[in-house]
Structure 1
């Protein structure tokens, strides 16, 4: 028991100590407490502070310490923290972050807030940041960074080693594995693995020991294509070049993977009805409430449409009250089947394995699955209804309704994302409510409609 309780106790003690240090405005003590925490607990420690204490903490810390702490915090939470600071206080912190982290934070913020900070940053840093921010999400340009080591092609090994020794601390922060060899126009001509320097003679030039004609990507390359390249080659990073071959930045394997995961997470949150981007419980109460209500209020209207089907068949439902037990089952089971199809279509769209024009192919694939699964589920629920009430006609009505509704739900779930994509709408956000409305309406209509036709045998 001691081994499981001790870490929690340590964390609680650190949280209390940090809260007390913030309250007493003791910046040195804040740094000491944060350094005592495990790296994995740092973000959790910041998350557990209340909103005012988080703002006070980052106002107390020196820009270097604040930037180091910000690197451990989720970017959506980091953006919220930075927005609470005055631009003059936020700019020195952001200036100490890597270019890709700085871009992520500013892109997450409201445009007015990010622009106010950019106005305070040094001109060269602000220009580079604006340039990187302009690249669309999901591209190499949006996740590349500019902290790389480069040398002119005519630089000697002796000169390169002297430069590395002189800038040792800076290059250690970069985590250098490769250096990039450029010509006078900053066009990329080769990649220089650091290990090649170990076996070179002092008078050799960078062009003598580099790997020429390296694989490059453009800033418009999608993260999906990047993932394919990283799967094909065991590279740690890929250089990003413009149309003229000038080196713009580097995109690494980890950033590519994270970008894909973030896109998938954002789609999942949209499907679950969380508007905006990611939600954390440390966010302000009204922001979280507003994001959720935006979805829930729409769902009220959609549910009223589905409920109108029940109202229309009220007499049938009153005559065969047992049907009320099966209505939510049929709706829910069909919705689950439809959501599986939505997930597959969303995945294939994100991987660019299908296009919005492939309605016929998707319909054939999904209708086949829908018919098989619908038949199996229909037989199962129909058999249970028969056993429960001893009425085979009730089993037939319920089983047929579930089989048909499952087939419809799977087809709709597979096709709606393609249809929305074709009309340039967000399939992640709109597929859910459309599918829910269709499965509820069709499920209720099928059960009550078939029951109305078979009413003499059900009562």
Structure 2
């Protein structure tokens, strides 16, 4: 019976129990049994003070390992509540790319306070890397790598690896980099670990280097990195500055993770989360404020679209059935617009569409909208006729549908390109603009069409 009860204990309950007991060893062993998602969920269920106690109970090295399993924003939230000295000790132990990612999520003052308490040499290195855009090679690279001079022999490298096993165990050794000199690390070649191990010791390191040395600039963007790894079958690529000096390496796995995070943020922004990031562990006031920044402008735009109804009060009074079908017309047209937005966003991401393709997109979406509109118009005419028996309302709704669907498709397809050309975020603004435009057109077209038909028949 006791075993059955224990099985029902949730990970966060057990984690919090161990924190309360301040059992460091049991705590260390338990959290390492959890998957990344289980750990993130367990930590998010804990109160802020318990989260702080959790990381302070662990050694800085273990605390760093724990934070690396959490989303960057969640790790940053925990660090900013700690004393600067304690946070600095943990950041010192993070992998170099994780240091940059977590510090970028902190306020400038909090990040500066932590850097001030870090090892001076490490802090200077981090300050240099924080200057890079997070979605560039410089922002994604790790600075833990192994490099050897041109004149090194294979036996020298293997001897060095064996004599520094503990130190190099923290380095993701996949390639050995050949440089001009240790003081002046101009990249000359790349040696695969397999080739190093299988080559006689007297052979020069440079002679087993890959023939074509591939590298990327420190300012190369995420799209460039993604395309590089799509073309090349490497697990990492060296990063160099303008002079060709080796700065670090970018791992394929880190690029895939960054691409996924960017897609997630775009989805969040498309859903109205302006910052592209929100967790329920954040303070309620912060979350509410961020959502209101999107909802308040949307309220104003929606009110503007709905105001057109007031221009046709007499028509609605005469044909009250219209009130039932106005949301249907607007909804169908809005869905058509959102489909077009999704296609444009996808083509922009793949590089298949540019702002200069505006007229091409306009024509393509107009033709698709016309075809969809005809089908939906006929179906809506039949539905209205069967539902109300009013032929005039059926004609008004049936004729309006193709027009509004075309508008929705064209606006939805073109707006992301226009916003991209204006250097604005298409994921953030496309939704409200498309919704407002389509609703306005749908309400106006149906009501104007009905008014005209009633006037014609007397």
Give the structure-1-normalised TM-score. 0.94
How far is 1:303 from its partner?
Answer: 1.4
What is the alpha-carbon distance in structure 2 between the residues aligned to residue 34 and residue 287 of structure 1?
A: 29
Mean Cα deviation higher: 275-284 or 446-455: 275-284
User: Which string of whole-angstrom CA distances, capped at 9 and with x for unpartnered residues, describes residues 133-176 of structure 1?
Assistant: 22224322221111112111211111111111122234333332
Distance in 1, Cα, partners of 2:457 & 2:242: 73
Map of 1:106 onto structure 2 = 103
Q: Indicate yes or no: 2:373 matched with 1:350.
A: no
Whether the aligned pair in 2 keeps the contact of 1:51 and 1:284 (CA below 8 Å) is no
Corresponding position: 1:400 with 2:404? no
Q: Secondary structure at the match of 2:275?
A: coil
Deviation (angstroms), 1:29: 3.7
Deviations 1:48-98 (A, max 9, x none): 212232122223322111101001101111111111112111111111111
Matched, 1:31 2:28: yes
Secondary structure of the equivalent of 1:151?
A: strand
Matched, 1:96 2:93: yes
Q: Which runs of 5+ in 2 are unaligned?
A: none
Query: Matched residues in 2 for 1:9 and 1:215: separation?
Result: 54
**Aligned ranges for residues 1-400 of structure 1 at < 5 Å?**
10=7, 12-184=9-181, 185-400=184-399
Query: Which deviates more, 230-239 or 43-52?
Result: 43-52
Task: Please give the TM-score of this superposition, normalised by the length of structure 2.
Answer: 0.94
- Structure 1 segments unaligned to the other structure (5+ residues): none
- The 2-side partners of 1:320 and 1:357 are apart by 45
Paired residues in the alignment total 455
Q: Say whether the 8 Å CA contact 1:341–1:413 is kept in structure 2.
A: yes
Contact conserved, 1:11 with 1:37, CA < 8 A, in 2? Answer: no
Tell me what 1:442 maps to: 441
- Choose 189-198 or 31-40, whichever is displaced more: 31-40
Question: Is the alpha carbon distance of 1:109 and 1:458 closer, same or farther for their aligned partners in structure 2, counting shifts above 3 Å?
Answer: farther
CA contact (8 A) 1:151 1:180 kept: yes
Q: Distance in 2 between matches of 1:186 and 1:412?
A: 52
Q: Distance in 1 between matches of 2:138 and 2:349?
A: 18
Q: CA RMSD in A?
A: 2.2
1:202 and 1:73, CA in 2 relative to 1: closer, same or farther beyond 3 A? same
Shift of the 307–65 alpha-carbon distance from structure 1 to 2, 3 Å rule, reads same
- Partner SS for 1:84: coil
